[in-house]
Amino acid sequence: MEPTAEIRRLFDMIPASARMMTKIISKPEQAKVIDTSFPFPWNWERPIYINFDLWRRLTKPQRDLLLLQTVSWLTGVKWFKPDIYQGVVLAGLLGGLVEFLHADALGVVIAGGLTTLAGFRITAINRSQHSQLNADEVAIKVAQRRGYSEIEAAQHLLSAIEAVAKLEGHSALDFTGLIRCQNLRAIAGLSSIGVPEGYKN
């Protein structure tokens, strides 16, 4: 597999709304098949690193769904949407600025602490099982616009998750991987047991 040609093909798979911020980079030295860093708000560009020596051992549909899932997760991380934690971050920043202008050291420390705690909570939410399950489902919807059926897309993503674990030398999937696989089995019609709503919310 020639990485440059595969990168071009994969880039064409990405939804147009994500192409400006996404960059696919060959990284043969990494142990993971596909990897990305957590996208902080100051990072406009969101690189995806692929070890093409491992990547080529996957089928084309598996590669397509893995890429779409990664892009869906990256673009699903929202730092500036209206909810309680974003509100606390904003209030903490504004409060810290006001207290700084009034030379109130204790106020600055308290506001900074609130901002930090809310920032950690936003990061945890975006790393949760819910965010991964949501990215799986968004990837399946995008794949349907690329010619896959819902069932095919779920089956390919399921087999990709299991294949990646083997390629990376894991003896078993982690808890999030198990939850994702169970959800994908339900979507693909391979299991009548879905994921409890508590994991999706």
Task: Tell me the whole-structure pTM to 2 decimals.
Answer: 0.76
Q: Which phi and psi angles does 101 have, rounded to 5°? A: -65, -30
Collapse the DSSP code of 183 into the 3-class scheme (helix H, G, I; strand E, B; otherwise coil) and give the result.
helix
CA distance 192 to 4: 41
pLDDT tens over the chain, length 201 residues:
799 999 999 999 999 989 988 999 999 999 999 999 887 777 778 899 999 999 999 999 999 999 999 999 998 876 555 555 445 555 555 555 555 556 655 555 555 565 555 555 555 555 567 889 999 999 999 999 999 999 999 999 999 999 999 999 998 898 889 999 999 999 999 887 777 666 555
Domain ranges of the chain: 3-78+127-196, 84-126
Sign (positive or negative) of CA dihedral 177, 182, 185, 187: negative
CB 91 within 8 A of CB 65: no
Q: How far is CA 58 from the centre of its chain?
A: 20
Among the listed residues 35, 37, 17, 14, the one whose alpha carbon sits nearest the alpha carbon of residue 26: 35
